[in-house]
Amino acid sequence: MKRLRNFGYRTYQAIMRMAGYILDFSSPELIEGPGSVKRLPAFINSKGIDNVLVITDKGLMGLHLLDGMFAGLDAAGVKYTLFDGVQANPTIPNIEEALGLYRRDGCKAIVAFGGGSSMDCAKATGARASNPRKSITRMRGLLKVWRRPPLLFAVPTTAGTGSETTVAAVITDPSTHEKYAINDPKLIPPYAVLDPELTLGLPPHITSTTGMDALTHAVEAYIGRCNTKKTIEMAEKAVKLVFDNIETAYSNGKDMEARGNMLIASYCAGIAFTRAYVGYVHAIAHNLGGLYGIPHGLANAVILPYVLEFFGEDGWAPLARLADIAGVKASGGTDAAKAAAFIAAIRGLNSRMGIQDKFTQIREEDIPLLVTRALKEGNPLYPVPRIMDAKDCEAIIRRLVA
């Protein structure tokens, strides 16, 4: 029975891999470099857009990070409406509130300014705007955004989610405390701004967890079974950039080069997993976030080494290659030794940046629900090296309990 089930999962994944060759995974057009956000208003105007909805959060507003862009929009003759109510895990009511503003003021495009939550909220708002008869719940899953959303200009202020180049919008349903994704190539933002100046003020703990989020994206994409030449190249580049720059960005947040390299790492990892998918790290992390509000980057950072260990020899070869790329030294020359060293290096990064290795929030009575929801997300969609069943998933979650 287990063998037949796994065969069904692999068949589904093979079909999805073939479908990837006919879907449009075009990467965003980039505006990049220090101060590049200042060029965005004139760029928006050049696209014939004179009225936008800006989606962000109150924290960024309090830091006045958007002041320069607002002044530029005024100077360029682009009207804007502000929605700054994005939550850490954007909810369906969040999206509906933003949608109401978009419709009320006759907006023609959306600017997402912030971290992954702002991007997710903006993508889902755009999807609702162009698909008014489809609720967020009905767009859950794959390829259910029928009509292309309005133009989206993505301005990331963290280096981790890669949401400025991905097909996904991750949403939380507050009625069920469930976190899930809408996945459709139509959600890939057409334009993105990579401005390292916007990340200079990130606190160290945000720098570390969002950076480890980018690493998780790259690693899960790389070790999966749905890679292309481009996703392999992007994942390898992202892993190298993270290992070379994350601790510098963490310890010296004003280092412009390290900040810029982390933005590129996040972007490359986003390209990789948009086409090659993620895996069980995300399946578990999404549900810890939905149930307990644990930040996504933190959840991924903690869970990643445990899931990589679970894959065992099925993950040794690609992890060994990543160890070589990242410059991780192993005690032996075998794939097994290199893979173990790579996993240990991830734990080392976490430890040196003050990231925990367990969670105190997980309750015993919630474990069956976490297992069910994680496997519902992961199987059959994610083309992982080794398929996980309920017993395997429960064992990993129990290892995460502090």
Beta-strand relationship, 109-114 and 51-55: parallel
For residues 37 and 69, is the Cβ–Cβ distance under 8 A?
A: yes
For residues 242 and 391, is the Cβ–Cβ distance under 8 A?
A: no
Same domain, 195 and 300: no
Distances (CA, A) of 102 to 93, 127, 153, 185, 272: 14, 12, 15, 22, 31
What is the overall mean pLDDT for the chain? 96
Report the candidate in 179, 181, 177, 174 with the shortest Cα–Cα distance to residue 141: 181
For residues 316 and 336, is the Cβ–Cβ distance under 8 A?
A: yes
149 in any annotated domain: yes
375 in any annotated domain: yes
What pLDDT score does 361 carry? 97
What pLDDT score does 201 carry? 84
What pLDDT score does 177 carry? 85
| Domain's final residue, options 199, 227, 244 | 199
Q: Residue 182 pairs with which residues in a beta bridge?
A: 141, 169
| Domain's final residue, options 143, 165, 199 | 199
Summarised one tens digit per residue, pLDDT across range 78-103 is 999 999 999 988 999 999 999 999 99
What pLDDT score does 257 carry? 97
Same domain, 378 and 393: yes
| Domain's final residue, options 155, 183, 199 | 199
Same domain, 192 and 225: no
332 in any annotated domain: yes
Q: List the alpha helices (DSSP H) in 252-386.
A: 256-276, 280-292, 296-311, 316-326, 335-352, 367-378
Same domain, 89 and 176: yes
14 in any annotated domain: no
Beta-strand relationship, 109-114 and 151-156: parallel
8 in any annotated domain: no
Region of 106 (left: φ > 0; alpha: ψ -120 to 50; beta: rest) is: left
Q: Residue 29 pairs with which residues in a beta bridge?
A: 191
Same domain, 174 and 228: no
Same domain, 36 and 185: yes
What pLDDT score does 1 carry? 80
What pLDDT score does 179 carry? 87
Same domain, 279 and 146: no
Number of domains into which the chain is organized: 2
Same domain, 289 and 387: yes
Same domain, 188 and 285: no
For residues 221 and 278, is the Cβ–Cβ distance under 8 A?
A: yes
Say what the alpha-carbon torsion angle 91, 378, 272, 264 is, to the nearest 10 degrees.
40
Number of helices (H), then strands (E), in the chain: 15, 9
The pTM for the full model equals 0.94
For residues 295 and 195, is the Cβ–Cβ distance under 8 A?
A: no
Same domain, 260 and 330: yes
Question: What strand order describes the sheet that includes 141-142?
Answer: 141-142, 178-183, 168-173
For residues 358 and 302, is the Cβ–Cβ distance under 8 A?
A: yes
For residues 383 and 277, is the Cβ–Cβ distance under 8 A?
A: yes
CA 68 from centre of chain: 26
For residues 113 and 84, is the Cβ–Cβ distance under 8 A?
A: no
Summarised one tens digit per residue, pLDDT across range 255-307 is 999 999 999 999 999 999 999 999 999 999 999 999 999 999 999 999 999 99
349 in any annotated domain: yes
43 in any annotated domain: yes
CA-based torsion, 222, 234, 35, 71: positive or negative: negative
Same domain, 119 and 54: yes
CATH code for the domain in which residue 345 is found: 1.20.1090.10
Question: Residue 170 is part of which domain span?
Answer: 24-199
| Per-residue tokens: 320 | 């060994």
**Three-class SS state of 175:** coil
Residue segments in the chain with a per-residue pLDDT below the cut of 70: none
At residue 223, what are phi and psi to the nearest 5 degrees? Answer: -85, -5
Sequential DSSP letters for 218-264: HHHHHHSS---HHHHHHHHHHHHHHHHHHHHHHH-TT-HHHHHHHHH
118-149 core/surface letters (b: 16 or more CB in 10 A; e: else) = bbbbbbbbbbbbebeeeebeebeeeeebeebb
Residue with tokens 């334009």: 191
What pLDDT score does 89 carry? 84
CATH code for the domain in which residue 123 is found: 3.40.50.1970
**How big is the CA angle at 323 (ends 322 and 326), to the nearest 5 degrees?**
80
7 in any annotated domain: no
Same domain, 212 and 259: yes
